[in-house]
Amino acid sequence: MHIAFCCTDTKAEPWLQGLQAALPGATVQLWSPGAALADYAVVWAPPQAFFDEQTALRGVFNIGAGVDALVKLRLPDATQAPVVRLDDAGMSVQMAEYVCHAVIRHFREFDAYEADVARQEWSYRKPRRRSDFPVGIMGLGVLGERVSRALAQFDFPVRGWSRSAKTVPGVQCFSGLAGLNDFLAATRVLVCLLPLTPDTESIMRKETLERLLPGAYIINVARGAHLVDDDLMALIDSGHIAGATLDVFRVEPLPAGHPFWAHSKITVTPHTSARTLRDESIAQIAGKIQALHRGAPIASLAGVVDLKKGY
């Protein structure tokens, strides 16, 4: 078994060592142009040249949950070489922590208390009612479901919206374009956990954000291209949106001088809501490679990507 590793912006050596330890009978090598043909690929944002050369692949394993960088490329026939993403590997609990923190920080007005403390002011705010702050989760995959369950533990009303109909215990679910307006109209805190596809790009724009309940709050932990930056700024300035916590951006790192950096109602974090945990990810990828190599049906693997849908 020969495995090619091609991951940009990733320190390769720990991954190579971990994959080799998890798959002791395999040959695990860092890909370079002209390398020998591999049976399986472990990738993150590889160049098109990788797939142009690697014509014998039996499976492509992405070291993250998002595959938007892959679906832009010409990939092998999915029936011969399925693309498989991480379906959790320790990311869902991190995402739940991050989103719960952002929701509670806004709901309890801890950001306002922090500003008062910086001015050495001792202040008091009337407690808010959770029933007035329904949280809407856009995207009910593995991460979205985990976030939904975590928020429900704090007694927030939780809504969910997905492309196709889903049922999540304790969550009022909406689906499809027909359900989007009703979902937005029932939401005061909007959390984006959608995959990035042509259908979801710029989904958080003026026309959709205006449908949220007045004083809405935005949390984007999916992809920067889901949000139209100028529309968010205008709606914050108008008062319809109270503020935002943003972990992802159209250009990363966020450029110096971008207005998000200095806006008093926007909290910025450096794409850190849910980081790939290497050991957990290696164990998951190795297990799936072994299953595929043994002849397991593609449909039996968790995380197989539908390239037509983009997730």
Active site residues: 223, 271
Which of 70, 89, 17 shows the shortest CA–CA distance to 276? 89
Question: Among all chains, which residue has been given the structure tokens 């991951």?
Answer: 7
Distance between CA atoms of residues 171 and 145, nearest Å = 9
CA distances from 173 to 69, 165, 166, 270 (A): 29, 8, 7, 30
Distance between CA atoms of residues 210 and 216, nearest Å = 9
Distance between CA atoms of residues 262 and 167, nearest Å = 40
Strand, coil or helix: what is 270?
A: coil
211 Cβ contact list (under 8 Å, min separation 6): 181, 184, 185
**Assigned token pair, 110:** 């801890």
Q: What share of the chain is helix, strand, coil (3-state, %, to 5)?
A: 35, 20, 45
Strand, coil or helix: what is 126?
A: coil
